[in-house]
Structure 1
Amino acid sequence: MPTQLSPYLSYDGNCADAMRFYAELFGAKLEALITFGQMPQDMPCPPGGEHRVMHAHLVHPGFSLMAGDTPPGMAYRGIQGAMMAISFDEPAEAQRVFAALSQGGTVTMPLAETFWAQTFGMVTDRFGTPWGINGGPKAMPAAPAQG
């Protein structure tokens, strides 16, 4: 199997809703959605965690996304210091996704043209996931040679 880097997001009881939303939004397949209550008998479920998601896995031809709810008794601190960056060939698709993620969320940078894309914006969706949405990439200068 080739090496693949996949984000693993943490939620506070709304992981199932978030992953179902992302599956529909991106036309992806939700391959796994396992709650703590569905764990094998030899791995007891934390009290109060029966309906919290232990592991979710979303698969799309262009990416893979994994997530889970924090276990009961573990402090949830939100998603900090990172954002999900996604790029689309067409600005219209970036606009569609940005609009969907903005519903009930917080726009931190409205869509606008940048030097790297015809459109770019940042939003934290209603599930608390920060996103950077790119549409219509522009040519970038080559990185300097390492020496």
Structure 2
Amino acid sequence: MPRSVLPFLMFQGDAEAALEFYRATIPGAEVDRVERYGEGEQVPAGRFKSARLTLAGQEIMVLDSPPVHDFTFTPSFSFHVECADEDEVRTLAEALAQDGATMMPVGNYGFSRLFAWVSDRFGVSWQLNCA
């Protein structure tokens, strides 16, 4: 039986910037277990390697991959965030979509009192909901 199942975000050179952005943007976001590359590894020593990000109690593994890949994030995987109130939906939607994209602008879509679906500047997709 598996011991745990965690979302895993693989960035390509901007993981540390993404974590700082999430920590500054999302209330209660915490970054811990930060690991940096050491001497003799495939990238310069001291460069960010991996960490754990915690959002509303959900732990997420984060890696900064040294090789560049032909793929990145897709909106078919997104974080669904249950917001405390409508102001939080609006605030997070505006902040996360800055230099990113808006797939569904803040609005009432019938299934939710207020909902937005955005992609941040790093390509990570966020569904923001106030039921």
TM-score range, shorter chain: 0.7 to 0.9
Structure 1 residue 24, shift from structure 2 partner: 2.0
- Taking structure 1 as the reference length, the TM-score comes to 0.74
Percent identity of the aligned residues? 24
Gaps of 5+ in 2: none
The yes-or-no answer on 1:64 pairing with 2:59 is yes
Aligned residue in 2 for 1:91:
86
Aligned residue in 2 for 1:32:
33
Q: How many residues align?
A: 127
Larger gyration radius, structure 1 or structure 2: 1
Distance 1:8 1:98 in 2: 22
Distance 1:5 1:25 in 2: 25
Structure 1 residue 69, shift from structure 2 partner: 1.4
Distance 1:115 1:4 in 2: 35
Structure 1 residue 4, shift from structure 2 partner: 5.6
- Taking structure 2 as the reference length, the TM-score comes to 0.82
Aligned residue in 1 for 2:69:
75
Aligned residue in 2 for 1:114:
109
* Paired residues of 1:11 and 1:76 also in contact (CA < 8 A): no
Aligned residue in 1 for 2:20:
20
Structure 1 residue 117, shift from structure 2 partner: 1.6
Gaps of 5+ in 1: 138-147
Classify 1:118/1:68 alpha carbon distance in 2 versus 1 (closer, same or farther; 3 Å): same
Q: 4+ runs of 1 displaced by more than 6 Å?
A: none
What do residues 105-141 of structure 1 show as CA deviations (whole Å, max 9, x unaligned)? Answer: 1111101112232111111111111111112x1xxxx
* Paired residues of 1:13 and 1:52 also in contact (CA < 8 A): no
